Amino acid sequence: MFIHRDFIATYKQTILGPLWFFLQPLLTTLMFSLIFGKIAGLSTEGAPMILFYLSGITIWNYFSETLNKTATVLKDNAHLFGKIYFPRLTLPISIVLSNLIRFAIQFLLFVVVLFYYYRYSSSSSINPNLYILITPLLVFLMGLMALGIGLIISALTNKYKDLIFLISFGIQLLMFATPVIYPLSTVPEKYKAFIMANPLTPIVEAFRYGFLGTGYFNWYSLLYSFCCTLILILTGTLIFNKVERNFMDTV
């Protein structure tokens, strides 16, 4: 029921409706191609700009949307908590799953564009490989990491309301600390350790490496991302379960 509600309510009473699932990543990709590709001249490691930015945006959108909605799940659903009891973790988990549907739609768009370039563009250097098969694992890690961070922030905003205003800004900053609009290879050596410390970096790079053949891939880096995700989801669940017991007394 919650998944259906989240999916339908997002673009309810809009003119274009579900078409926004396609328009948002396309418009963002075109903007990034113009600003970062043409004007700033950032490298895409030989990959077509449209594909390079669309690959990063596709998997990043799933993370950012899930984190953004999970981080305010207590505040947004306070009216439900006061009427009936149900396992509170149902709501954040439903957000992860409903955004998975959105990701699948945008992922389909990315695959169509990838097929077009691979089939009809002889000048582009696109080398899809078997690492495409680990895409479900990468998406799984992204979803759990967003859920873990979101649960922690949601619990903290119950006491520190100011955090609500920092969520969107923080997600934007985190995107710039993740190789979404630039390849890892272009990061100066003195900053590379900082970027690699971000557990999202190996996931985004592995996604791009599997479909485009460019980027960085390392199993140990993915193991690091997995360990960070495990810590975040366990910590987030514990904190969230502790806070939600007394949530209605402080909301």
Going by pLDDT thresholds of 50, 70 and 90, the confidence category of residue 59 is very high
The 3-state DSSP composition of the chain as helix, strand, coil percent (nearest 5) reads 75, 0, 25
Going by pLDDT thresholds of 50, 70 and 90, the confidence category of residue 9 is low
153-169 mean pLDDT = 77
Is the Cβ–Cβ distance between 37 and 49 less than 8 Å? Answer: yes
Going by pLDDT thresholds of 50, 70 and 90, the confidence category of residue 226 is very high
What tokens were used for 169? 């800004």
pLDDT tens-digit profile of 172-206?
Answer: 889 999 999 998 888 888 889 899 999 999 999 99
Going by pLDDT thresholds of 50, 70 and 90, the confidence category of residue 70 is confident
Q: 57 in helix, strand or coil?
A: helix
8-34 mean pLDDT = 72
39-46 mean pLDDT = 83
Which tops the pLDDT comparison, 109 or 159? 109
Which tops the pLDDT comparison, 228 or 247? 228
Is the Cβ–Cβ distance between 157 and 166 less than 8 Å? Answer: no
Task: Give residue 246's domain range.
Answer: 2-250
12-30 mean pLDDT = 71
Q: Would you put residue 25 in left (φ > 0), alpha (ψ -120 to 50) or beta?
A: alpha
Instruction: State the average pLDDT for the chain.
Output: 83
Rounded distance, CA 201 to CA 181, Å? 12
The answer for residues whose C-beta is within 8 angstroms of residue 16's C-beta and 6 or more apart is: 23
Highest mean pLDDT among 34-48, 69-83, 115-129, 191-205: 191-205
pLDDT tens-digit profile of 87-113?
Answer: 777 888 888 888 888 899 889 999 999
pLDDT at 240: 84
pLDDT at 89: 79
Flag whether pLDDT at 18 surpasses 80. Answer: no
Highest mean pLDDT among 8-17, 64-73, 191-200: 191-200
pLDDT at 24: 82
Domain total in the chain: 1
